[in-house]
């Protein structure tokens, strides 16, 4: 098949996929841009509320802090606490879901006496934006149709990127000007085409990274394939099966969080900036602990699982001990949003995500203009030969 036959077919495919996914991709792009600096925005909104006056005495241990909170009948069941080594930082406490499926708002707590400081600002807003970004606010959240729709949109974006490059391949393919210089002097269809193709070339690498990493959050087969490719020797964490049996077959037991804390101090000491303890749900006994070397919650974290009744360390996964592929998998979210490159990468990815509606609008305008041009094209006349 010649190029003259391939390009019309690719244009048709590009148009169909673009028109189908335009709205979803625009929504995903805008919500992703909003979340790009979520941590920094929330830190600014809660700067005063999350600050406490350092004291001479040591902060409460997690067991004592949780006990004081649970003594208040108006406070729900604690599901996780996040504490900092900064003596002036408040502790963030999350709660388990209610019987109706809703989750109470987090609380900021004084680490020295357990006094509730208030609810962090902006949390509910960003939680809603995140659900919109990942699941389109459809019922079922990660188990509903929204996850499949956003995954299909990410696959569609890959198709758009590939067909878009082929369709605009210039005769002078080695010319940077032909690829990267927009023609702002044009108007109408010419300007729309220039913006759609040239700006699309600018952001193509970013969109490709976003799509290929985002697919791991939608499809288990894709995530398994990435794991096989990057970390073929990876196996399920030791103790995972045993943990499942323990949580399913054992009646609820009181947690000895003082033993958990002692094990953590032995394993981690003061070699962390932020620590998050997630308590087991239901009748489980396994406490999950994550530690970060810096204030930013990125993929460079160590993770431990400790039996909450005995304090026995079950698993320890340290980022520094992982292979290159395992580190890439651990930082897939940082790659997805560009934060692996620091704040310049975050800014670049944010701007690229915010530009997504531009391609939806210009793509629709180009499609409509093609339809008009086809309708205006003169129909071929039929001339009869004498005697026919």
**Token pair for residue 193?**
């085409």
Write out the two tokens for 117: 């400081």
**What's residue 377's pLDDT?**
61
DSSP state of 110: -
pLDDT tens digit sequence for 274-296: 999 999 987 788 999 999 988 77
For residues 32-39, give the mean pLDDT. 95
Mean of per-residue pLDDT scores for the chain: 87
pLDDT of res. 242? 41
Distance of alpha carbon 292 from alpha carbon 319, whole angstroms: 10
DSSP H stretches of helix in the chain? 3-35, 38-45, 62-70, 123-135, 145-167, 176-180, 189-194, 200-214, 220-230, 240-249, 257-267, 324-330, 332-337, 343-354, 356-376
| pLDDT tens-digit map of 338-356 | 999 999 999 999 999 999 9
Q: How confident is the model at residue 170 (pLDDT cuts 50, 70, 90)?
A: confident
Q: Which range has the worst mean pLDDT, 79-83, 188-192, 342-346?
A: 188-192
pLDDT of residue 380: 58
pLDDT of 68 reads 93
Give residue 236's pLDDT.
46
Does pLDDT of 235 surpass 70? Answer: no
- Prediction pTM value: 0.86
Share above pLDDT 90 across residues of the chain, in percent, rounded to a whole number: 68
Q: pLDDT tens for residues 47-71?
A: 999 999 999 999 999 999 999 999 9
Q: Quickly state the pLDDT bin for 379 (edges 50, 70, 90).
A: low
Q: Provide, rounded to the nearest whole percent, the portion of the chain with pLDDT above 70.
A: 90
CB atoms within 10 A of CB 228: 11
Q: Is the pLDDT of residue 140 over 80?
A: yes
Band of residue 251 on the pLDDT scale cut at 50, 70, 90: low
Cα angle 179, 182, 187; round to 5: 135
- Looking at the predicted structure, is the pLDDT value of residue 383 above 90? no
């Amino acid at each position: 098949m010649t190029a003259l036959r391939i390009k019309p077919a690719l244009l048709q495919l590009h148009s169909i996929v673009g028109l189908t996914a335009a709205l979803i991709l625009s929504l995903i792009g805008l919500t992703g841009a909003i979340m790009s600096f979520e941590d920094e925005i929330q830190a600014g909104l809660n700067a005063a509320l999350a600050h406490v006056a350092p004291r001479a005495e040591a902060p409460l241990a997690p067991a004592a802090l949780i006990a004081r909170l649970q003594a208040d009948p108006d406070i729900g069941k604690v599901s996780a606490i996040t504490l900092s080594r900064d003596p002036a930082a408040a502790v963030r406490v999350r709660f388990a879901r209610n019987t109706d499926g809703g989750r109470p708002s987090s609380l900021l707590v004084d680490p020295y006496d357990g006094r509730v400081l208030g609810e962090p600002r902006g949390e509910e807003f960003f939680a809603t934006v995140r659900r919109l970004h990942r699941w389109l606010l459809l019922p079922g959240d990660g188990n509903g149709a929204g996850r499949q729709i956003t995954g299909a949109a990410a696959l569609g974006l890959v198709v758009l990127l590939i067909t878009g490059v082929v369709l605009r391949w210039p005769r002078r393919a080695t010319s940077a000007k032909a690829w990267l210089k927009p023609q702002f002097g044009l108007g109408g269809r010419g300007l729309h085409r220039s913006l759609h193709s040239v700006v699309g070339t600018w952001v193509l690498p970013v969109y490709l990274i976003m799509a290929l990493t985002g697919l791991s959050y939608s499809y288990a087969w894709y995530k398994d394939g990435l794991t096989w490719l990057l970390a073929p020797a990876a196996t399920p964490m030791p103790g995972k099966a045993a943990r499942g049996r323990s949580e399913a077959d054992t009646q609820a037991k009181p947690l000895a969080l003082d033993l958990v804390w002692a094990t953590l101090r032995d394993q981690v000491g003061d070699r962390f900036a932020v620590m998050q303890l997630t308590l087991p749900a239901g009748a489980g006994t396994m406490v999950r602990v994550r530690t970060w070397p810096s204030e930013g919650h990125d993929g460079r974290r160590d993770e431990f699982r400790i039996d909450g009744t005995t304090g026995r360390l079950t698993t320890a996964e340290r980022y520094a001990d992982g292979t290159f592929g395992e580190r890439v998998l651990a930082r897939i979210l940082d790659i997805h949003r560009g934060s692996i490159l620091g704040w310049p990468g975050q800014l670049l990815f944010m701007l690229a995500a915010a530009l997504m509606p531009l391609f939806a609008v210009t793509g629709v305008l180009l499609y409509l203009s093609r339809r008009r041009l086809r309708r205006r094209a003169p129909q071929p006349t039929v001339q009869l030969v004498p005697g026919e």
